[in-house]
Structure 1
């Protein structure tokens, strides 16, 4: 009986990381979105922002959390998710548990097949980069206008709070190996960012 109990305990699926249901499109009139964004002092020295698309036409923090848990990342790999209206309200910014706990991201893989230099680079991006996932496949369809405006708002808030200059905002969307897809309006995006001196 003890052996069977132990085996069942080992085979039991791990619980998903809690998402916390915190969003930045609050209906509370006495709480400004930026107050919810920075509700606690950062314990980590964030020095860059990394933006990826989800490579799928639909999704939200909930579905990404489940996928990333299946991939062994311990739940949602990103700090923020900007929705496209497929599962949650268009433009809704969801705050992941990694941001609430001020934990490293898990959006860059680290494995034994990589050179030591690549491992160090990926580890630095995970440890010091604020990860933002935009729901969508930017090889097929651009961000919605609301998604783009909310993404710009979020990045500017993070830039201002942590003094992150424009050249430390990394956009890696679409499947192109060396450049972003033409469906991401990068010139427009960059023009909206703060040109801060680190």
Structure 2
């Protein structure tokens, strides 16, 4: 395992090393950011995708260690106390967090590191990593977002209502981010992300 590199040591070596960059992808639940991320990684295997830790249950087809690290609430809280997360948030009754060590090491060794995280976590990253590039994925309309969430058929009516209420708040925060991309046509949105990352 590579040694943990404190943020200070990364900053002081910036002139001597070709450092990578942190890319943050966020947007409301149901906007398609996970699907965009998977396609982006298929096209660009050189990107380092930071797998998040969560306390929610796996959805059908999700694989532990690939889609998320699925852990218990008590284990998450233990890791949180130990300072193991670069950012974390609670969303729809579950915790989500980004493991600190792997991200810092990959940036140090010149990788483009991509995080797909919730708004609260993205704000934490902006505060601690001002040089991070932040991208906000928007739906073409709120009605379309609701349709996408309902079409997944994975949530109770109560959970859908919570997600939609949260989505309204998140969409209002889009201007806080460096780039806003509307996921209306999937290929267009994916190409827009590629243009931002590799122009």
Task: Give the TM-score of the pair, scaled to structure 2.
Answer: 0.32
Task: Give the TM-score of the pair, scaled to structure 1.
Answer: 0.33
- Asked which structure has the greater CA Rg, the reply is 1
Q: Quick check: which one's helix share is greater?
A: 2
Q: Which has the higher contact order (CA 8 A, sep 6+)?
A: 2
Q: Quick check: which one's strand share is greater?
A: 2
